[in-house]
A and B are shown apart, each in its own frame.
Chain A
Amino acid sequence: MHTRGAILVANIIAGLALGYTVANIGFADYAELNRMFTFQDLRMFLAFAGAVAIIVVVFAVVRVRRAPGRIHAGVVPGAVLFGTGWAISGGCPAIPIVQVASGYLPALVTIAGIVVGIRLCRWANTRYFHLDSGSCER
């Protein structure tokens, strides 16, 4: 059932769960993030891998189909840019919302940057990239 009300309720439940869980795991904490990326503490890597494993099982049980998606020209450079920005700012990209909710007010600047980046990508795709993946158009 995909009524507007059902989508709204699902989004509220998913948002509350995501914000609460992400904050408690430590993804909003720059120190924890840097320790994960530099292999000083594998706890968050394992949390991520555990989440993926659960999703694989759940999607298999409820028979979720693969969405059409090919490895287009924007995937690797986009992922490089995202990984660089994530390591610098600690935002990926819902995390700055949790950072602000935890009291880190400068994360508002990260949110502003993300909005600018999204709009910049749309503009650049229309003008230069012309990717037909829908990546910058959605």
Chain B
Amino acid sequence: MPNPDNDLLRKALAKAVAGLTGSGRLDVVEVAADGVTSFKIMRDDHGVPRGRRWHTPWSDLAQDREALLRAADVDPDDDTVLVCSSPGSSRADQAFEWLRATRPDAPTLRVDDSIAALVTEVLGADPLTRSYDLVVLRPRTDGTLELATVPLFPVQARPGATTTMTLHCERGGPNGTAFAVVTWQGHDPLLLSVQSAALPPGSYEITAELRRPGRVRFSGLPTLSGDPRGWAELIAEVPARLPSRATGPGHLICAIEVCGAEPKVAERVGRARQVVSTLSNLPGLSVSVVAYGAHSFDRSVKDHRVEVRAWRVDVSTAQSVLDELEERGPITQGYPYHPHAAQLEDMLAAVDRGLAGDPASPVALLTIGDRPPHPPKIDNSRVLPCPSRHDWRAVVAHLEQSRNVVFGAVVDYQVGDKLPRVWQLLGSAALANFDALDIRGLTSGLGLTSDAVPVPFPLIDVE
């Protein structure tokens, strides 16, 4: 049967705790049979009420008023509640009177039992003064990721409240996927708790339960454990893009610029070989090798045609073709071949022709080169027009829209340089620097392999 005195005290304490704002403090002093117990309660940065408790036995107080007041440590600016849990004891009554005289404004209550458990109960039942959100990542349409939050519990939510949501999890790295709960200080998130687990990639229906202020439990997942990472560490692990997943065995076309200096041509072929070798364990992959050079602009020297050296061959055959290509070296070099542009537009047209007769399958075009294409007609670039008047922009758009080609490129560029539009398009799915080739990133960007980049938070709005 509930004790009416305890109910009164619970309500009084709950009201006093609810009234705590900002840096305000609540002092609760219990005069008990064995001494004086003080509780100092204040809210932390998340609005969670936290209490500190200390006990001073009668033996240390020696019936001394000043000693009692020092032990109770009642601050004149703090809200105060005075409780006597040992009524009838002359020592306790005396002490209680001294305290009442010191803070005549404070509510006073008399109960039969120690109040420590009741204070804990009141703090655990305090409704939220800040909303709680879960940190997630949201993919944008271009594949990049933005940090977002999902609301868990609003202000005034009480322990026992639940929220259920469906989240997607990718591989989360060594610490697993972090379920980070934040409150807000203005527009800035403040990390309340982080729990993590290594989860198999996939979708999860997750229920978050508010256990008490400051404590959220997630169910629908393997057991989560505490994660020592701070906010900065977690944010630092967020990748720029949503990791790509392999689209399955398809068709990789390696288009290689084979004009210019011999060492550079050899390096380009070498980069193609590196990529192809990485994919040697990919069953069912077919590879094509296309070589293109520079146009001749002297009527006495016949223009070289783009060479389709191999079309839809296996990895082993492609490697042999690349060996031959490297051995042969540049096909066009010096005058009268154009020194600053290449037959990129003719290569694209040749790829388009080749794909026209192929069965539909995922196609990745990896272009390894540097020079720009020739425009279909004179433009501001002053690069001479393509003799066949191929329009590289139109062919790229056609390959993308009608042949479902994804584009990757290995280009010699300096980070920070403005990349020419053609290479932005030809590297739209995967762009690698010639001198710092990330093969894994390249192949995953092209959809040939899965991405190894960990994603530290759950994802929402994943199609």
Question: Does A associate with B in a complex?
Answer: no
Binding site for B on A (CB under 8 A): none
Residue numbers of B with Cβ under 8 A of A are none
